[in-house]
Amino acid sequence: MLQISNLTKKFGKFTAVDDISFGIDRPGIIGLLGPNGAGKTTTIYLILGLINPTSGSIRIFGKDNVKHRQEVLSKMNFSSAFVGLPSNLKVRENLKFFSYLYNVGEWEKRADYLLERFQIRELKHKKAGELSSGQLTRLNLVKALLNDPCFLCLDEPTASLDPVSAKIVRNQLKEISAQEKMTILYTSHNMYEVEELCDEVIFLHKGKIKAKTTPKELMSSLKLASMENVFFELMKEEE
């Protein structure tokens, strides 16, 4: 699914991602964790081809993501709590527009199914600019799932959600990943949801990988009862 080899990204003298290597070989939800500035979002942007690496390589579905960018991206998608949508377009119009970008057949059927799953179907005739931040986040997720991706990158998707909405999103992502055999690379600062959702975690700090294993194995190896405690322990080790 994904193979990253010796990946480095520098911005001037600052190294955001520092010679990291890891692979994902099966469907599931993989947490990409770390404090602010750890290199999580930069890694996702590199995977999506939004920025080019300084060195190293990224292969997705066995193909170089630079040489085969269009083919690779057609089977992927991305969502973030911090990405906006055209505010003047209605929910339905936004989804129609993105369906054209991804050549989604029977897009209305797929859109209605996803809007129902994320409990916002009644909003499809409202303008995106009239939605709350939580509703927009769920719409972004619907947009990201519209093309039935094999590989989905999510950057803090529940950051703007209240606890009830966040629970809906977590439940749906877990079910969709299992039902559609989808791989999700998931960043979050909420260690509770990481513990609940993720089959595996990759912990970044200062652009380097500090740990790559399952949440259960990571907690066991550090003799800690929660991922939140693991987060603080890994930061303490760095100090």
Q: What is the mean pLDDT of the chain?
A: 90
Most confident among 75-89, 108-122, 155-169 (mean pLDDT): 108-122
pLDDT at 161: 83
pLDDT at 52: 92
Residues 108-128 have a mean pLDDT of: 93
- Comparing C-alpha atoms, which of 221, 141, 206, 125 is closest to residue 175? 141
pLDDT at 191: 87
* Token code pair at residue 233: 């322990």
pLDDT at 237: 56
Whose structure tokens read 């999506």? 48
Q: pTM (2 decimals)?
A: 0.88
* Token code pair at residue 39: 């290199």
Residues 172-199 have a mean pLDDT of: 91
How far the first Cα of the chain sits from its last, in Å, is 34
Which residues does residue 14 pair with via DSSP β-bridges, in sequence order? Answer: 11
Assign 23 a pLDDT band (cuts: 50, 70, 90). very high
Q: What percent of the chain has pLDDT over 70?
A: 99
pLDDT at 117: 92
Residues 174-200 have a mean pLDDT of: 91
pLDDT in tens, 64-73: 888 888 888 8
pLDDT at 164: 86
Q: Which residues of 116-148 are buried (b: 16+ CB within 10 A; e: fewer)?
A: ebbebeebbeebbeebeebbbbbbbbbbbbbbe
Q: Which residue has the higher pLDDT, 116 or 83?
A: 116
| Domains of the chain as residue ranges with CATH | 2-75+149-238 (3.40.50.300), 85-148 (no CATH)
The answer to whether residue 226 scores a pLDDT higher than 80 is: yes
